[in-house]
């Protein structure tokens, strides 16, 4: 293609993009994202049976179904690595979806990998914890500890924007590493006086 024609084509393409892109962005903004909220939380474990038993005993989770039953062909190889962001050589050997009262489900992945690292700490980058709302934080912590979890402290008052009589939280750790926050706020929170937006609170079971 002659240099003049290539330059003309490039100019026309840039002009078209200058017209299309702003309109596409405006349309997306007017339509919204379509996002409803959190659907489920993925959790990698070394032993899916032990993790299931703990989640059942500690927080009342229940098995819904197995996407990849233990013993079936694992998800591995280049396609799985590129599609799911796995480390080279990693193998997903089991996947299970669990139900937890109200709100997001918990999806367990039993993964085998040579360079598998331990769970992130609260000071590490990335998703830090999941929070479970409870009507009785003391009873929830007792149950969690009896199931084998570690309660990191006594319940603390929530910060000023969330504070109120009985509004408390406490961090705890599963035997296989991930952090759980137990939270309760039976008293209306002060932030509600400053905005029409509301944080999502699981409805009573």
Q: Residues 165-178: pLDDT tens digits?
A: 999 999 999 999 99
Cα distances from 13 to residues 8, 21, 29, 34, 166, in angstroms, run: 9, 12, 24, 30, 62
Query: CA–CA separation, 102 vs 155, rounded Å?
Result: 22
Residue 34's pLDDT is what?
75
For 144-162, what is each residue's pLDDT tens digit? 999 999 999 999 999 999 9
What CATH class is the domain 121-205?
alpha beta
Question: What are the tokens at 122?
Answer: 């609260």
Tell whether the model's pLDDT for residue 181 goes beyond 60. yes
Question: What are the tokens at 73?
Answer: 């062909």
pLDDT category, 120, cuts 50, 70, 90?
A: confident
Residue 11's pLDDT is what?
52
More confident residue, 162 or 30: 162
Contacts of 101 (CB under 8 A, 6+ apart): 60, 202, 205
- DSSP sequence for 125-187: SS---EEEE-S-HHHHHHHHHHTT-EE-SS-EEPPGGG--TT-EEEEEE-TTS-EEEEEE--S
More confident residue, 29 or 196: 196
pLDDT category, 137, cuts 50, 70, 90?
A: very high
Structural contact between residues 54 and 76, judged by C-beta atoms closer than 8 angstroms: no
Based on DSSP, count helices (H) and strands (E) in the chain, helices before strands: 4, 9
Interval 40-68 mean pLDDT: 96
Residue 9's pLDDT is what?
47
More confident residue, 142 or 35: 142
Question: What are the tokens at 18?
Answer: 């200058």
Whether the pTM exceeds 0.85: the reply is no
More confident residue, 3 or 130: 130
Residue 173's pLDDT is what?
95
Domain residue spans of the chain: 1-35, 36-117, 121-205
More confident residue, 23 or 110: 110
């Amino acid at each position: 293609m002659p240099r003049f024609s290539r330059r003309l084509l490039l100019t026309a393409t840039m002009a078209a993009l200058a017209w299309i892109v702003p309109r596409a962005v405006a349309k997306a903004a007017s339509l919204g994202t379509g996002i409803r909220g959190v659907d489920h939380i993925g959790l990698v474990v070394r032993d899916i049976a032990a993790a299931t038993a703990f989640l059942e005993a500690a927080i009342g989770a229940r098995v819904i179904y197995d996407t990849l039953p233990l013993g079936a062909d694992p998800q591995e190889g280049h396609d799985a690595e590129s599609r799911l962001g796995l480390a080279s050589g990693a193998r997903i050997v089991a996947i299970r979806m669990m139900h937890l009262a109200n709100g997001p489900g918990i999806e367990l992945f039993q993964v085998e990998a040579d360079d598998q690292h331990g769970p992130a700490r609260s000071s590490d980058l990335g998703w830090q914890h999941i929070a479970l709302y409870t009507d009785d934080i003391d009873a929830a912590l007792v149950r969690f500890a009896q199931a084998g979890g570690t309660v990191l402290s006594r319940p603390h008052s929530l910060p000023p924007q969330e504070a109120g009589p009985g509004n408390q939280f406490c961090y705890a750790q599963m035997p296989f590493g991930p952090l759980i926050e137990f939270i309760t706020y039976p008293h209306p929170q002060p932030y509600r006086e400053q905005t029409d937006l509301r944080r999502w609170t699981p409805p009573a079971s």
